Structure 1
Amino acid sequence: MKKRCALCLGVILVLLGQPAVWAETTSAQSVRIAIVNVATLLDNAPQSKAADAKLKVDFVPREKKLDAEQNAIQQLEDELASRNEAGSLPEEEKVQRQRELRDLQRKYTREMEDFREEVRTARDAAIDALQAGIIQAIGEVREQEKIDLVLRESNYIVASDRIDITNKVMQHLEQKFQAQTALVVPVPAAAPTPAK
């Protein structure tokens, strides 16, 4: 009966101008599905920690400089206020110092906005690169493990630990990081031994 229905369907498709494609399946093919926790990888991958360290190296000195400028402005404000309350500040000097203080505050505000924008841009670029690297690593692990479908942690409700490949991807990322670091870090040459 099944063959007869399939034949009828094939004839109808041919009459409609559609190619008839069918195959008898004698054995079911298994589909391998896995899950991965991308948030864990983003937080704990060595590439993530290296990106954080690079951002700190790039921006912490400038942040400290801006903090020092803010402290200096605060000291000037306090000094101006105390001298003004004591009445030891002539009006002309008071106006001049207030103007200088406003100029310093405006300059500081501009520098701080520029700094925040640069940090945001650098952080976004680092996150984009990190996400691309993680997606590539997931794809490489998927190929190695012959997995048909990988779901992100937010795309399922419940899953078995047996199909979670987060640790495998983390190990893959660690291996790639170590290989990359080995290429970048020069090995110090051995010191020559003194002649006797």
Structure 2
Amino acid sequence: MKSKLLKAVALAATMSMAAIAAQAQDIKIGYVNSERVLRESNLAKAAQAKLEAEFGKREKDLKDLEGRLRGAAEKLEKDAPTLAETERNRRQRDLIEQERDLQRKRREWQEDLTQRKQEELSAVVERANRIIKQIFDAEKYDLILQDAIHFSPRVDITKKVIDALNAQK
């Protein structure tokens, strides 16, 4: 009795698996590597160039200020033995104040850069998602995944998305 029941369950399971496998062959799946789209598309490269142009001067100014501050600190260290204590203390306070100012400016620059980068990348992602939706509809995909851990090159449509983004103006 148990053996007949086990055989019936095994037969039902086998038939279910066969039906699922047959259905699975009809499913069309695609994969898009978002990181690659954000790295290789012309739109993303243009956004990166725009950010570099927008924030490059501020970054250079910060590096120059840092260099001047480092030079002043080295000069103070060199001159410290010959300076009067009040003058040495005053210069140390000035350096500390300049260092705080530099750190504040660097933080502001980083926050502004991060915010603008988010804005630019959001625009690229939005356009990429529209392209992905167009491909999904036009080619009748059942499922398109982004950022999978493992995928087959057979389902990778990243190049198609990048090419479509690059073709847009």
* TM-score (structure 2 length as normaliser): 0.77
Task: Assess if the C-alpha contact under 8 Å between 1:33 and 1:148 holds in 2.
Answer: yes
1:61 to 45, 57, 60: 57
User: Conserved in 1, the CA contact under 8 Å of 2:31 and 2:151?
Assistant: no
Contact 1:59 1:119 in 2 (8 A): yes
**3-state SS of paired residue (1:58):** helix
Deviation digits for residues 121-170 of structure 1, max 9, x if unmatched? 11122222222221111111222223232122406x44352x43222211
Partner of 1:148: 142
- Using the size of structure 1 for normalisation, the TM-score is 0.67
Q: Which moved more, 1:141-150 or 1:111-120?
A: 141-150
SS at match of 2:145: strand
Contact 2:31 2:148 in 1 (8 A): no
8 Å Cα contact 2:32/2:158 also seen in 1:
yes
Rg comparison, structure with higher value: 1
Matched, 1:166 2:158: yes
Once residues 99 and 164 of structure 1 are traced to their aligned partners in structure 2, the CA distance between those partners, rounded to angstroms, is 59
> Which of 125, 131, 134 is equivalent to 2:125?
131
Mapping of residues 4-15 of structure 1, within 5 Å: none
Query: Deviation of residue 67 (structure 1)?
Result: 0.5
Q: Distance in 2 between matches of 1:166 and 1:127?
A: 17
Q: Identity of paired residues, percent?
A: 27
Q: Name the Cα RMSD after superposition.
A: 2.1
The number of residue pairs the alignment matches comes to: 146
Return the match for 1:116 from 105, 110, 115.
Answer: 110
| CA distance in 2: counterparts of 1:69 and 1:113, whole angstroms | 14
Give runs of aligned pairs for residues 87-106 of structure 1, distance below 5 A.
87=82, 89-106=83-100
CA shift, 1:31, in A, is: 4.1
Any stretches of 5+ residues in structure 2 without a counterpart? Answer: 1-22
Q: What SS does the aligned partner of 1:128 have? A: helix
Deviation at 1:107, TM superposition (A): 0.9
Judge conservation of contact 2:43–2:124 (CA < 8 Å) in 1: yes
Aligned to 2:69: 73
1:91-137 superposed Cα distances (whole Å, 9 cap, x missing partner)? 22222212211211111111111111111111122222222221111
In 1: Cα distance, 2:153 partner to 2:94 partner: 66
**Separation in structure 1 between the aligned mates of residue 98 and residue 34 of structure 2, nearest angstrom:** 45
Give 5+ residue unaligned stretches, structure 1. Answer: 1-27, 180-196
1:91/1:31 CA distance change after superposition, 3 Å: closer
